[in-house]
Amino acid sequence: MQDRFVHCIAQLPQPLADQLVPLLNQDFAGHMDAQQVADLAQATQMSQDELLLAMLPIAAALAKPPISEFYVGAIAKGASGDIYMGANLELDGEALFHSVHAEQSAISHAWLSGETGIEDIIVNASPCGHCRQFMNELVEGQAIRIHLPEQATQPLSHYLPYAFGPADLNIKTPLLSKQQHEFALESADPMIIEALDHLSLSYAPYSEGYAAVVLETRDGATFCGRYAENAAFNPSMLPMQMALSAMARHNRDFSEINRAVLIESSQGKISLVGATMDALHAVAAVELEHIMVDPV
């Protein structure tokens, strides 16, 4: 079991702790498939809602909050039935807009894993306005069920009435919808090819600033992020935030980064290069490779 789970495992009901310990191995990064979740519910004699609420301390253990020292965990349940954990991330000494909220982390985890819909969000504190707006960008966002400890389950529409979202700006394919944007770039570099794949899947309907980041560690592992824009602009999630959040979930230290690539559309109304460089230089002594590509 990873060291970061030692303290939180003691907070769980003993039958659940016994079942989880073998799963929390060195490869665990917060994902469980639908069958694993069903098996855990059966073994512990808990309902699935009870089970997911009980596992929030595991999600919170994925957090890196050096500024607030406030650990928040969230779990997103995808349409597939798989669950995706996320946690808050803060960059030490850097502006707070670089922070990632737990709900954003969990949703981006699901998106990077191929989910096209989120049905439930389980979180250990009421979602802030930033996260409510971020969730409202998703496919059928208003219908997402929000589960909180010792509170009745309510849809997002309960927490965000009179919402403003993609439909108000005539966007018909909201975040998590299947979409593909084509860009012209020839490269034999595997890392740039991976970045281009994520660029094509990024979501930037308001600025057309499609973008993706790939981070490579010294052992050759890569961690990716895609731009996820928002109708209210500020809750947008930058690809560097998403990539660093993925690294944190995998229990990797940012000092291990030895290469970083940002790839952007040349036709976007904005550029993410400044914010991306700021975040990168806050965590690693690596220069950013910045590539602009033309849409097809």
Catalytic residues: 103
Q: Render 25-65 in DSSP notation, one character per residue.
A: STT--SEE-HHHHHHHHHHHT--HHHHHHHTHHHHHTT-B-
Q: How far apart are CA 147 and CA 142, in angstroms?
A: 14
Q: At what angle do helices 102-112 and 129-136 cross, to 10 degrees?
A: 20
* Coil, helix or strand at residue 198: helix
Q: Which residues contact 293 (CB under 8 A, 6 or more apart)?
A: 183, 184, 185, 196, 199, 263, 264, 265, 266
Q: How far apart are CA 152 and CA 65, in angstroms?
A: 28
Phi-psi region of 61 (alpha: psi -120 to 50; beta: other; left: phi over 0): alpha
Q: How far apart are CA 231 and CA 222, in angstroms?
A: 30
CA atoms within 13 A on the CB side of 85: 27
